[in-house]
């Protein structure tokens, strides 16, 4: 039981008579005690001995029940008087109806005795000159001496109002008006911000607690004041999806008994997936431009992109997510042709725009993935952004992958009788791209024929040396093994091959150039400083 007490020194008057001094005072008391079952009150007017020589105490108590919306009801009332003692007091008791404020007001009086005679002249003994209240004059001075006359007389009393003491205590249930965010993912942990009214209850009446009946979901109140509470949560990966009710309880009871809370105290447990729309195909590496590096016809920009979709289940709006692309190192490095022991740094990954955002009304968040210039595989991770979580702590992730490659399947040019394959191992002994002779069907078919035609035209000549073509799945073929975008601006789409010039005498070169053209080379571009012809094969049969 909790008791709240108000005490007021109502009057204090000093009179002087020669060298003596005497003090007179009255004390008013209001006290209230409330449990979940009963409201008990106490009202008291107490006079000091000197004051009691001439007056008696009187107290009137009024217990009001006030709803949280301001509706006032006089719940109980009573009064007490003592003609033979200096203290008048009384008790009241009533059943507690929670979710109300209970206020006790105690009016305190002195009782003055006086005589009246007919014709109506009134005198009463009021030696200290206290006033009394009336409707016409709230503080009317009184006489202080009884002067009886010769008329018929009778004794009556006068109530001299001293003042009011009041005390109140509320029994409001927690009222939840909003939960932010109103959802949480399976397997996640963090906190909700709960706003409302009377969430904590009166000071000294215990802490507010949280509860939910959903299996696999635990909640706990970290901190609370009257209008806001931070409620941490932890949700099992096996928790059932769907809507559930958050319940806050204080000393007086649960928010589940409060009508407004019944409308606003729900949150949704959801799962989610992340997918991309090129799941059954590949995304083409960027940086392939018609006329510069051999795309003919040009590769549509849409082929270098994928739409990434995060979908919540059940659909929840305004769920926050972050997307991230990460490089997956191939177990079989020959697939991409980049042998990592001879590479420095990490392969660039694709970009996501936007990289973070919120779900729409259908519970969906979309982003555009754009491939890097290199072939390979990227892992796309969607991560929840939960209040109170930092990085991976408490957040939930889902993943998908995206393959980056030319859609056309390349063939490997194998060694032949009339040509030599070079460039698999560099002069320093490293081999960052040892499988460097992949190309289109037209290129792989015609390169052996070019070598055969050249030897037929110049029997006994040095064999042609074929250096870099393209990598198995296309994309940027950087020579330095540094994942840069320097040399080899072509060699991305299987149409190119470098043929060493120093092995071909100047007298033989016009014929060789004619053979190139005959065998479907679109542009036998000489690059003397690099000691090779850069061939670009046609794309039409």
Domain 175-271 identical in fold to domain 411-536: no
pLDDT in tens, 127-141: 444 444 334 444 434
CATH number, span 411-536: 3.30.1380
Burial profile 123-162: b = 16 or more Cβ within 10 angstroms, e = fewer: bbebebebebeeeeeeeeebeeeeeeeeeeeeeeebebbb
The pLDDT of residue 126 is above 80: no
Task: Tell me what the mean pLDDT of segment 50-69 comes to.
Answer: 92
pLDDT in tens, 3-56: 566 666 665 443 333 333 445 789 999 999 999 899 999 999 999 988 888 889
User: H or E element: which one contains 159?
Assistant: strand 153-170
CATH architecture assignment, domain 272-404: Sandwich (2.60)
For residue 301, the model assigns a pLDDT of 87
The pLDDT of residue 460 is above 50: yes
Q: For helices 441-457 and 509-518, give the axis angle rounded to 10 degrees.
A: 140
For residue 131, the model assigns a pLDDT of 43
For residue 394, the model assigns a pLDDT of 87
Q: Which residue has the tokens 């009150």?
A: 41
* Residue in 309, 310, 340, 312 with CA at minimum distance from that of residue 327: 340
> Contact at 8 Å (CB) between 173 and 258?
yes
Of the pLDDT bands very low, low, confident and very high (cuts 50, 70, 90), residue 152 is: very low
pLDDT in tens, 189-207: 999 999 999 998 777 777 8
| DSSP string of 450-492, one letter each residue | HHHHHHHHSTTPPPEEE---B-TT-B---SSSSS-S-S-SS-S
Measured at the CA of 43, the angle between CA 41 and CA 49, to 5 degrees, comes to: 150
For residue 141, the model assigns a pLDDT of 40
For residue 407, the model assigns a pLDDT of 83
Query: What are 488's two structure tokens?
Result: 């080899």
pLDDT in tens, 411-442: 999 999 999 999 998 888 889 999 999 999 99
Who contacts 408 (Cβ-Cβ below 8 Å, separation ≥6)? 440, 474, 493, 494
- Is the whole model's pTM more than 0.85, yes or no? no
For residue 7, the model assigns a pLDDT of 64
Of the pLDDT bands very low, low, confident and very high (cuts 50, 70, 90), residue 480 is: confident
Of 73 and 298, more confident: 73
Q: List the chain domain ranges.
A: 2-170, 175-271, 272-404, 411-536
Asked if omega into 181 is within 30° of 0 (cis), the reply is yes
Highest mean pLDDT among 82-86, 91-95, 488-492: 91-95
Measured at the CA of 454, the angle between CA 448 and CA 457, to 5 degrees, comes to: 140
Pick the CATH number of 175-271 from 1.20.1260.10, 3.40.50.10890, 1.10.3720.10, 2.60.40.10: 2.60.40.10
Of 49 and 274, more confident: 274
Who contacts 481 (Cβ-Cβ below 8 Å, separation ≥6)? 338, 342, 343, 344, 430, 432, 433
Q: Report the C-alpha gap between 43 and 30 in whole angstroms.
A: 5
Q: Report the C-alpha gap between 496 and 113 in whole angstroms.
A: 124
């Amino acid at each position: 039981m909790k008791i709240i007490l108000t005490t007021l020194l109502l009057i204090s008057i000093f009179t002087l008579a020669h060298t003596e001094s005497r003090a007179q005072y009255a004390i008013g008391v209001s006290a209230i005690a409330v449990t979940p079952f009963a409201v008990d009150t106490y009202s008291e007017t107490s006079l000091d001995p000197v004051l009691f020589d001439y007056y008696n105490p009187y107290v009137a108590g009024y217990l009001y029940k006030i709803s949280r919306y301001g509706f006032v009801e006089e719940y109980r009332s009573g009064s007490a008087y003592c003609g033979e003692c200096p203290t008048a007091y009384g008790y009241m008791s009533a059943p507690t109806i929670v979710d109300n404020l209970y206020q006790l007001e105690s009016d305190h009086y002195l009782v003055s005795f006086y005589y009246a005679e007919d014709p109506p002249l009134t005198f009463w003994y009021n030696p200290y000159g206290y006033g009394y209240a009336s409707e016409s004059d709230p503080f009317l001075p009184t006489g202080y001496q009884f002067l009886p006359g010769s008329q018929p007389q009778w004794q009556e009393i006068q109530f001299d109002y001293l003042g009011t003491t009041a005390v109140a205590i509320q029994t409001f249930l927690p009222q939840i008006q909003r939960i932010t965010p109103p959802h949480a993912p399976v397997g996640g942990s963090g906190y909700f911000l709960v706003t409302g009214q009377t969430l904590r209850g009166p000071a000294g009446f215990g802490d507010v607690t949280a509860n939910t009946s959903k299996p696999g979901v635990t909640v706990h109140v970290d901190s609370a004041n009257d209008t806001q509470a931070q409620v941490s949560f932890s949700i099992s990966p096996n928790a059932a999806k769907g809507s559930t009710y958050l319940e806050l309880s204080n000393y007086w009871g649960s928010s589940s008994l409060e009508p407004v809370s019944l409308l606003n105290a729900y949150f949704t447990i959801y799962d989610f997936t992340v997918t991309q729309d090129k799941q059954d195909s590949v995304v083409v590496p960027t940086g392939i431009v018609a006329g510069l590096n051999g795309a003919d016809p040009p590769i549509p920009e849409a082929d270098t992109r994928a739409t990434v979709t995060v979908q919540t289940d059940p659909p929840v709006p305004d769920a926050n997510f972050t997307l991230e692309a990460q490089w997956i190192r191939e177990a079989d490095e020959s697939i991409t042709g980049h042998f990592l022991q001879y590479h420095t740094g990490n392969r660039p990954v694709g970009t996501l725009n936007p990289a973070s955002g919120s779900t729409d009304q259908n519970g969906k968040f979309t982003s555009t993935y754009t491939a890097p210039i290199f072939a390979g595989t990227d892992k796309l991770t969607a991560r929840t952004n939960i209040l109170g979580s930092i990085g991976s702590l408490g957040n939930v992730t889902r993943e998908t992958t995206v393959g980056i490659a030319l859609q056309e399947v390349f063939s490997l040019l194998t060694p032949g009788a009339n040509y030599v394959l070079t460039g698999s191992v560099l002069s320093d002994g490293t081999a960052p791209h040892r499988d460097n002779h992949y190309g289109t069907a037209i290129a792989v078919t015609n390169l052996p024929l070019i070598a055969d035609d050249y030897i037929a035209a110049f029997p006994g000549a040095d064999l042609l040396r074929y250096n870099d073509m393209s990598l198995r799945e296309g994309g940027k073929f950087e020579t330095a093994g540094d994942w840069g975008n320097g040399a080899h601006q072509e060699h991305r789409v299987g149409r190119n091959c470098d043929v060493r010039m120093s092995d071909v005498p100047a007298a033989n070169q016009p014929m060789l150039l004619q053979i190139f053209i005959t065998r479907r080379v679109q542009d036998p571009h000489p690059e003397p400083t690099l000691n090779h012809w850069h061939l670009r094969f046609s794309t039409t049969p």
